[in-house]
Chains A and B, each alone.
Chain A
Amino acid sequence: MKFFRWVWLVITLGLLGYAFYQGMYVAPTEATMGDIQRIFYYHFPSAMMTFLFFFISFVASIVYLASRRTNPQRAMSSDAAALACAEMGMVFCTLVLIQGPLWARPVWGIWWTWDARLTSTLVLWLIYASYLLLRQLADGPQMRTLAAVLAIFGYVDVPIVYFSTRWWRTQHPSPVIGGDANSGLDPAMWPAVWWNLAAWLAWGLLIAGWRYSVERRRQDAEQHAALHALEASLEVTL
């Protein structure tokens, strides 16, 4: 497992380097925005990874709630997966909220505006921040159940973020990918998009996978600690 993770790390770093080269040097310069448009090559993958990791967290939370009484082992591994993916999604969501204003300032002339896309993304960040705070400040099965419910209800905001530019008129541009007939990317830009998506996906899976294994082992170690404490108290009693 350790060897596999190291191989994955080497592949990921290679992918990240090549994706950077594609986005910064190979993709053509956009006609109206110029070089600042190249933020797109990591802003868009960050947004997609946010959706993906929150989705996995959402599914894992459902599995946790469904199996917490019937299959405790599966419930605990689902809980660890939900936590790992919520954290990874949170990292990508934070980056989306940083990269966006850095792109907006030279292009729109403002750092931020309270339009539907930006506001719903901030709300998504706040929902998952509260999820992580809950997990940090409380403990035990009740916390896990409450966190799973929060992750499920919090995920409702993801489709709102995604469709916000279609449902409402926003400062944020309409979807470039999968948008209306006049939208679309220059074909020469697509390799940079795909390489960056692949690279950040590989990175996200690597780190979330590592975080998941750390959390699973921590859960086991906590159980052992509880058993040791029980044994010690029995010795004192006898």
Chain B
Amino acid sequence: MAHRHLVLAYVITIVVQLGYAGWVGLKYRAMRKLERAFPAYPST
């Protein structure tokens, strides 16, 4: 049981961290979409 828990804890750690990184990636895509839809006004 101990080895299974050790491996499971490590796998969950990696999956959660990568999951969050993926979620930030989705946020990045949404932000890029917004940037393209509403470009900045040229500074005068």
Chain A residues engaging chain B, CB cutoff 8 angstroms: 20, 34-36, 38-39, 42-43, 46, 87-88, 91, 94-95, 98-99, 102-103, 105-106, 203, 207, 210-211, 214-215, 217-218, 220-222, 224-225, 227-228
Interface size on B, as a range, is 20 to 34
Given A217-B35, A221-B38, A35 and B2 touching (CB < 8 A)?
yes
The number of A-B residue pairs with CB atoms under 8 Å apart is 85
Q: Which of A91, A98, A224, A228 contacts B20 (CB 8 A)?
A: A91
Interface bits B17-36 vs A (CB < 8 Å: 1, else 0)? 10011001001101100110
Contact of B2 with A87 in the complex, beta carbons under 8 Å: no
Contact of B9 with A102 in the complex, beta carbons under 8 Å: yes
Shortest CB distance A80–B (Å): 12
Contact of A34 with B38 in the complex, beta carbons under 8 Å: no
Interface of A is mostly: helix
Shortest CB distance A81–B (Å): 14
Shortest CB distance A54–B (Å): 15
Shortest CB distance B29–A (Å): 10
Contact of B8 with A203 in the complex, beta carbons under 8 Å: no
Distance, CA A87 to CA B32, complexed state (A): 20
Contact of A224 with B39 in the complex, beta carbons under 8 Å: yes
Contact of B13 with A106 in the complex, beta carbons under 8 Å: no
